[in-house]
Amino acid sequence: MRKLLLFIPLALFLGMGFFLWKGLYLDPREIPSALVDRPMPAFELPSLTEPERNLTVADLTGEVALVNVWATWCPTCKEEHSFLNQLAQQGVTIYGINYKDEPVKATAWLQRYLNPYREVILDQEGRLGLDMGVYGAPETYVIDAEGTIRYRHVGAVDANVWKQLQAVIEQVEGAGA
């Protein structure tokens, strides 16, 4: 019996090795196809700016928009924030999901760096993030007027990424018209 027990470390290692091998051929930045062209998962979560008000999918529909997942613990979010502000000034609709964060810090952050978001969903437990398959902050989704996810980008949004997102938005808007 004890002899068999001694094989446990080897078995654990082989199991891990198998997953590492599979992981080699997955791109961590790739969009999981399963999520694209699915509706936004249903949720009912408080707004960061007005905590007594609850937001649902219905609040995000009506026009093509970006959904940006961010948190104050995420340094990359800080980097992309000024670009999001620019986009908001250009009239792009951006919704924010404040992911696994502390509301106090998040509110202070938006005061400091300005708020590019039309609405900020407070996802303190990370439930919505889990349903959406958020890999890490920041992530940015393109959703259409019906609230269907059309594109997903993992990582910061900058001028180059925005070109891609713009192409997707144009395509979505063209198909809708």
Partner 1 sequence: MIPELGTYALVLALCLSVLLSTIPMVGAQRGNLLWISFARPLSIGVFFFTAISFVALTYAFLANDFSVSYVANNSNTALPWYYRMSAVWGGHEGSLLLWVLTLAGWTLAVALKSRDLPADILGRVLGVMGIITTGFLLFVLFTSSPFERLLPRSPAEGADLNPLLQDFGLIVHPPMLYMGYVGFSVAFAFAIAALLSGRLDAAWARWSRPWTNVAWAFLTLGITLGSWWAYYELGWGGWWFWDPVENASLMPWLIGTALVHSLAVTEKRGVFKSWTVLLAIFAFSLSLLGTFLVRSGVLTSVHAFAADPERGFFILMLLLITIGGSLFLYALRASEVKSESSFSLVSRETMLLVNNVLLTVICFTVLLGTLYPLLVDALGMGKISVGPPYFNALSVPVGALLMLFLGVGAVTRWRRQDGTALLKQLVVPFVIAIVLGVLSLMLREGESTLWTYVGVILAFWLLVMAISDISDRVRRRSTPVLANLKRLPRSYYGMQMAHLGVAVLAVGIAMVSAFNEQRDLRMAPGDTQQVGDYTFVFEGARHFDGPNYSSDIATLRVFYKGEPYDVMQPEKRLYTARGTVMTEVALDPGLFRDLYVALGEPLENGAWAIRLQFKPYVRWLWLGGLLMTFGGILAATDPRYRKQSRREQSKLETANA
Rounded distance, CA 76 to CA 97, Å?
15
Residue 82 or 170 having the CB closest to partner 1: 82
Residue 42 contacts partner 1 per CB under 8 A: no
Residues 135-154 that bind partner 1 (CB under 8 A): 135-137, 154
Nearest residue (CB) to partner 1, 95 versus 99: 99
Q: Distance (Å, rounded) from C-alpha 55 to C-alpha 49?
A: 11
Instruction: Answer yes or no whether residue 73 interacts with partner 1 by CB under 8 A.
Output: yes
Decide: is 159 part of the binding site for partner 1 (CB under 8 A).
no
100 near partner 1 (CB under 8 A): yes
Cα–Cα distance between 93 and 45 in angstroms, integer? 20
Q: How far is the CB of 110 from partner 1 (least distance, A)?
A: 11
Q: Judged by CB under 8 A, which of 67, 92, 120, 134 binds partner 1? A: 134
Instruction: State which residue, 43 or 113, has the beta carbon closest to partner 1.
Output: 113
Binding site for partner 1 (CB under 8 A): 2-3, 6-7, 9-10, 13-14, 16-17, 19-29, 32, 34-35, 71, 73-75, 78, 82, 100, 112-113, 129-130, 133-137, 154-155
